[in-house]
Amino acid sequence: MGNKNRRAYREGAPEMIKSKRVVFIEGIMAGIPIGLGYFAVSFSLGIAAKNAGMTAFQGFLMSLLGHASAGEYAAITIIASAGAYLEMALMTLIANARYMLMSFAMSQRMKPDINPIHRFLMGYFITDELFAATISRPGYLSPVFMYGAICVASPCWAVGTGVGVLAGQLLPASVVSALSVALYGMFLAVIIPAAKKDKIVAGLILFSFAASWAAGVLPGISSLSEGTRIYILTIVISAAAALCFPIKMDEEGKTP
């Protein structure tokens, strides 16, 4: 790594003046805490898969290709109840619908002439945490950064599910519950630095927390499923934020 790249890495320079190697390493570093959280939390997913009659390899393959806890839980529920394939597809589509919105948001932050293959791969591997880690970076989004994070996070999620299937019912419920908290702590570690840098982001985060709580207790909307409430809140809050606080970027993808 040359002196220029070392200085760029230390100073957090825009991705366009960093080498792909530096950006990839930054992605790996960002993916390590995400992967550790995934490995711990996917234990509970593996136990659910075990109860549904799935093998360790099936659980591993499901998480390796699925990348979505809510969608996988929905699929496992249908498998356990011997539901139809169409029912499973529809449940998974609804549970994972929020990822379409995240993909749209990332697409707006990418270079217009970027290879469509990169767009497809970033959209395919997107998760809540990988989206938060990637979208918070300045300038145009680099697929190399997300690939670095994916190299760590995705295998950890898949392996954790497989190990959870093997563990089965051996782990006490209290231990599984404690491990599940790790994912929320990891997500807070992703959003807090961005909130410290921007008061608008901090205000939107607090408002999102309040709106999510209100949606769970108010009549009418509280009767909807949790996934549907998240989908509605994501559309409304993100659209309002984009209209009220638009981010202007120059031709090089820098914010003024």
Query: Are 79 and 153 contained in the same domain?
Result: yes
Residue in this structure with the two tokens 């599940």, named with its chain if needed: 180
Residue 220 is given by DSSP the state: T
Do 151 and 31 lie in one domain? The reply is yes
pLDDT at 91: 75
| Domain hosting residue 136, numbered range | 3-197
pLDDT recorded at residue 38: 87
pTM: 0.64
pLDDT above 80: residue 131: yes
The reported pLDDT for the residue numbered 10 is 45
50 Cβ contact list (under 8 Å, min separation 6): 59, 164, 165, 167, 168, 169
Q: What is the pLDDT of residues 55-102, one digit of tens each?
A: 889 999 999 988 887 788 878 877 887 777 877 887 788 778 778 888
Please say if the pLDDT value at position 28 is more than 80.
yes
Same domain, 109 and 35: yes
Regarding whether 69 and 192 lie in a shared domain, the answer is: yes
Number of structural domains in the chain:
2
- Convert the pLDDT of each residue in 141-154 to its tens digit: 889 999 999 999 99
